[in-house]
Amino acid sequence: MWALVRYVKAKKTPDSNRPVFDVGVAFVGKRAPASYENEPWRRYEIATSSFERMATVEEMHAIQTADQRVHTRHFIPIDLLLETIDEKGDVGASESTVTENISRKGATVFTTMHLPVGRFVRLTSSQYGLTVFAVIRSVSTGADGIPRIHVEFIDTEWPL
């Protein structure tokens, strides 16, 4: 069964250091769209609303990744601890870094790590006393030659 993630909410668990999430999904069929084979990182959305029946793969469309931001990005350097999270919820690699820009829903973060699109990361700011989980939506290298990851916060908004 193939499904689209509709929401992700972090859960607080006092007896575990691993992140735990509630995830809401919409089941859409037995197979992914044909474009998934060549572009597994592509984001999909249901093209039509169907409240009384299950959506189908044919009703999905790929979300264009051109700049469609609703929230303004602020060019504020915020010191962060960037940590990779594996499929078991364990922390892998980590580094201290800084944002190039940030909004309530996402950020561009400088990094020396080679991280793939779709990877989950945890960002912690001691300045803001905040930890957020994010997914890498794209990777780029600036004109200055410094690699960047572009992340979407998945469990909370940044308090701007």
* Separation in Å, CA 33 to CA 14, 77, 92, 148: 39, 39, 31, 29
Q: What is the pLDDT of residues 47-60, one digit of tens each?
A: 655 554 555 555 45
Q: What is the pLDDT of residues 65-91, one digit of tens each?
A: 445 557 788 999 999 999 998 878 788
The confidence band for 5, taking pLDDT boundaries of 50, 70 and 90, is: confident
**Class of the CATH domain delimited by 79-153:** mainly beta
pLDDT at 52: 47
For residue 38, pLDDT beyond 90: no
Query: How much is the average pLDDT of 136-158?
Result: 93
* From-to residues of CATH 2.40.10.220 in the chain: 79-153
Query: What are 10-17's contacts with CB under 8 Å, separation 24+?
Result: 10/133, 10/155, 10/156
The Cα 109–Cα 125 span in angstroms is 13
The confidence band for 21, taking pLDDT boundaries of 50, 70 and 90, is: confident
The Cα 92–Cα 132 span in angstroms is 16
Q: What share of the chain is helix, strand, coil (3-state, %, to 5)?
A: 5, 50, 50
* Separation in Å, CA 143 to CA 40, 103, 148: 27, 22, 11
